[in-house]
Each structure stands twice: as structure tokens, then as C-alpha cells.
Amino acid sequence: NRYITIKNQIEGEPKESNFELRTLALDISVDPGSNDIIVKNLYVSIDPYQLNRMKSFSSSQKAIGFAAAITPGETVDAYGVAKVVASGNPEFEKDDLVVGLITWGEYSVLKEGSMFRKLDPLGFPLSYQVGILGFSGLTAYGGFFEVCKPKKGEKVFVSAASGSVGNLVGQYAKLFGCYVVGCAGTKEKVALLKEKLGFDDAFNYKEESDLKSTLKKYFPDGIDIYFDNVGAEMLEAAVSNMNTFGRVAVCGVISEYTDAGKRAAPDMLDVIYKRIKIQGFLAADQMNVYSDFLSTTTDHLRTGKLHAIEDISHGLESVPSAFIGLFRGHNTGKKIVKIADD
């Protein structure tokens, strides 16, 4: 079994030299009493939060309480779609499709009690299960509707808006009837938001030197909801432009993941006087809306009202560059690696 691991704990920006491909013999058979399942990995999700698990033990523990630190040499667990090749579990048969926690490798051994389930793709491409119909979609849906509690006509700002979660937040917000502006890191991404995904407006944050006045220009009447994927200066600028009783959903702070010294310092007097609610959340908290999310999203996909934006690399070897690319803005939409054919 070939798999990708880290060579060393990572601080700062991840680089190709932090990763290596290793091989470990794997017997593709299971003891019938074991309940283990061996799967061939097909699609694996590439996610920014994994970097926080790769940091040195103390800082990663501090940064991330819900997923254990990854140590050099270990397999990296990640959400994905796989096909059963051998099963000791009576509920799974060879060739069944599963979705859940697999690995950055060719095969994974799924133990009883770990997070996976049988997959019915509902007629959609398998890759959708790691993006729009998987955790990205649930994060966007739950984060927007449950955490931000939108009202029709409210003004919404989304950062990393062409990314996996961001583009869906913008699309859900538009379908719900909000005014939506997104920011992203290239002119092609800005064009995608405005021309294909229906955002009311969008801008390239890399071309702006004063984010507070930029946001003032795009939101002359203030921001009601900020869906934060990046943290730091963008969060500070958004808070200074929020309306009274505005809501900030802190989904991620990617600009802080690669820079240990960088932390958002929003003006807390603004937060008090404007009674702004700032709430962090995890996708896993949103399981109560999972069935609403799935039915709404599949309906909108079938009628063409929602677009699935995917960015797929091919082959296990491409995992490190796919992952590193997240922190350099190389991806547009959900970053996925296709490891093997279905």
C-alpha cells in the first residue's frame, strides 16, 4: 500500500519537501470475525484544517481540539469515497461503495466504530460526496442557515468565496434572497463568482491595500452577515463594516494557519456597541440539518440552480501539491484527488 505522509512537523507554509510517499505491505484479506473492511480509495478530500494537525504537538493541540495531531510516518486520515475489496463485516460486501474517513493512500483499513457508511451516490458523480454533498456542503449550509440566521434581503460578505465552502455559501445565500459579495484571489475567480455563480459583486482582495475602505465601497449600507474563511485583516475589516446586530460565522482562518504570529484583533468596542455576534462552529455540529441540507442541495443540483465547482487532481502522487496549493490559492472550488478509477 502506497501512502503519503509528512516527513516532519510543519510550521509556516507547507512545502513539497515536507511530504513523502511510503510503501507498506498490506495483506488484502480480513479475518471474518474482525469486522474490519479493506477499501480501495477512489476520491480523497483535500482540506486546509489538516495543516493544523501537522504542526508541532503543542501548537496543533492548541489549534485543534477535534482531530488528533498527525505525526511523521503515520497515514493521514481524510474524508473520501472508496470501494470495498475485502470485508469481515457482514453489513458490507466486496464492491460496495463507502464514504467516510479513509486515508491519503491507495488502500485503507476501516475498523469497526470509525466514521464511514455505505454510500448511495443518488445518481451524482462520486466526487460530489467529498464536496457539495459532503462536508463542504454541510459546512456551508449549516454555517449559513444555522449560525448566521439570515433574513431575506440581508447583505452578506463571504471570503475565500471561490473555494469549496465559500462558493456554496454564496450560492445558498443568493438562492435564499440575500445580497452577496465575495472576495477571492484572482480575476478569473472573481469572474466565476459574478458570471456563473450569481454573486451580486466580487473583488480580488490581493489588489486592495485598505480592506476597510474596500468593504465600505462594496457595502455602503453595512454588512449584516460575514461568513469568514480567512481570519486576520479581513475579519477586522468586516467587523468594522458590520451593521448593528450583525453576525459573523467563523468557519476558518486560513490566512492564520501558515503564520503563527498572525491573529485577528477586531475592534471589540465595535462588537459591543453594534451587538455583533461572532460564532465559531464545526461542520460536525450541523448534523441536525443534514437531511434538510441533502434534500435542498440535491433538488437544486437537479434543477440546475446550484453549481458544483470542483478542482480534481489525479493520482496519489499529486496529494502534496494539491494540499500545498490550498494555501497558495491554486484551487478553484472543492480540491479533490482522484486516486483510482471507480
The one among 211, 252, 296, 316 contacting ligand NDP by CB under 6 A: 252
Site for ligand NDP in 128-157 (CB under 6 A): 135-136, 139
The one among 47, 77, 224, 310 contacting ligand NDP by CB under 6 A: 47
Nearer to ligand NDP, 84 or 249 (CB): 249
Nearer to ligand NDP, 211 or 242 (CB): 211
Distances (CA, A) of 192 to 11, 196, 262, 327: 33, 5, 29, 20
Nearer to ligand NDP, 116 or 257 (CB): 257
Q: CB of 166: closest distance to ligand NDP in angstroms?
A: 5
Residues whose CB is less than 8 angstroms from the CB of residue 211 and which lie 6 or more positions away in sequence, other chains included: 205, 233, 234, 236, 237
Q: CB of 325: closest distance to ligand NDP in angstroms?
A: 8
Work out whether 327 is an interface residue with ligand NDP (CB under 6 A): yes
Work out whether 185 is an interface residue with ligand NDP (CB under 6 A): yes
Cα separation of 274 and 94, whole Å? 58
Work out whether 14 is an interface residue with ligand NDP (CB under 6 A): no
Return the exposure string of 112-141: e unless at least 16 CB atoms fall within 10 Å of the residue's CB, then b. eeeebeebeeeebbbbbbbbbbbbbbbbbb
Q: What 8-state DSSP symbol labels residue 272?
A: H
Cα separation of 195 and 280, whole Å? 30
Q: CB of 233: closest distance to ligand NDP in angstroms?
A: 9
DSSP string, 256-267: HHT-TT------
Nearer to ligand NDP, 148 or 326 (CB): 326
**Region near ligand NDP per CB under 6 A, out of 71-79, 83-91, 110-118, 159-167:** 159-167
The one among 229, 296, 297, 313 contacting ligand NDP by CB under 6 A: 229
Cell of 177: 434572497
Work out whether 331 is an interface residue with ligand NDP (CB under 6 A): yes
Q: CB of 284: closest distance to ligand NDP in angstroms?
A: 7
Nearer to ligand NDP, 84 or 132 (CB): 132
Distances (CA, A) of 282 to 32, 252, 275: 36, 9, 23
Work out whether 80 is an interface residue with ligand NDP (CB under 6 A): no
Closest by CA position to 43, among listed 287, 303, 224, 311: 311
Nearer to ligand NDP, 160 or 301 (CB): 160
Work out whether 324 is an interface residue with ligand NDP (CB under 6 A): no
How many CB atoms sit inside 10 A of residue 98's CB? 22
Please write down the HEC assignment for all residues of 170-216: HHHHHHHCCEEEEEECCHHHHHHHHHHCCCCEEEEHHHCCCHHHHHH
Work out whether 189 is an interface residue with ligand NDP (CB under 6 A): yes
Work out whether 233 is an interface residue with ligand NDP (CB under 6 A): no
Element (H, E) at 255: helix 254-257
Work out whether 171 is an interface residue with ligand NDP (CB under 6 A): no
Helix axes 164-176, 135-142, angle to 10 degrees: 40
Work out whether 301 is an interface residue with ligand NDP (CB under 6 A): no
Q: CB of 15: closest distance to ligand NDP in angstroms?
A: 15
The one among 169, 230, 301, 306 contacting ligand NDP by CB under 6 A: 230
Return the exposure string of 244-274: e unless at least 16 CB atoms fall within 10 Å of the residue's CB, then b. eebbbbbbbbbbbbbeeeeebebeeeebeeb
Query: Could you list the residues that contact ligand NDP (CB under 6 A)?
Result: 47-49, 135-136, 139, 160, 162-166, 184-186, 189, 229-230, 251-252, 254-255, 281-283, 326-327, 329, 331, 335
